[in-house]
Amino acid sequence: MLDKIINTAVERMTREAEISTSLSQTAAIAIRILSDVPGMTQASSRDFASARPVFTLKDGTIVRTWKNPVGVDHIFLADAYGRMVFAGYVGWIDSEDLKEAIKRIKRELV
């Protein structure tokens, strides 16, 4: 039983996210806002499964966030079908800038 739980957890953490092949205008604007955040770095799609939805944009794009075990903030955008369209993270020093970008996205695109 414990082996099955461990194997399921390992599989979930190492599975690559399904990537969307299209991008809405709203998602493109959100990506531009996120790309302007100092220190924004492309994240692994494997981390997508750990992120939790925080809000949905007017076109159905889902904003998801996750803080890894060492406290690094991640952000993901998924299309309305749950396929990843953006994955990024910032170091601790830039976390406030990311939070401000998320607030801006929510204010302008929800």
Q: How far apart are CA 83 and CA 62, in angstroms?
A: 9
Structural domain span for residue 87: 2-109
* Dist CA 18 CA 34 (whole Å): 20
Where residue 9 falls among pLDDT bands split at 50, 70, 90?
very low
Whether the predicted pLDDT of 3 surpasses 80: no
- Whether the pLDDT of residue 18 is over 80: the answer is no
pLDDT digit string, tens, across residues 73-98: 999 999 999 999 999 999 999 999 99
Total-model pTM: 0.81
**Domains identified in the chain, total number:** 1
Which residue is listed with tokens 């976390």? 95
Residue 32 φ then ψ, to 5°: -60, -45
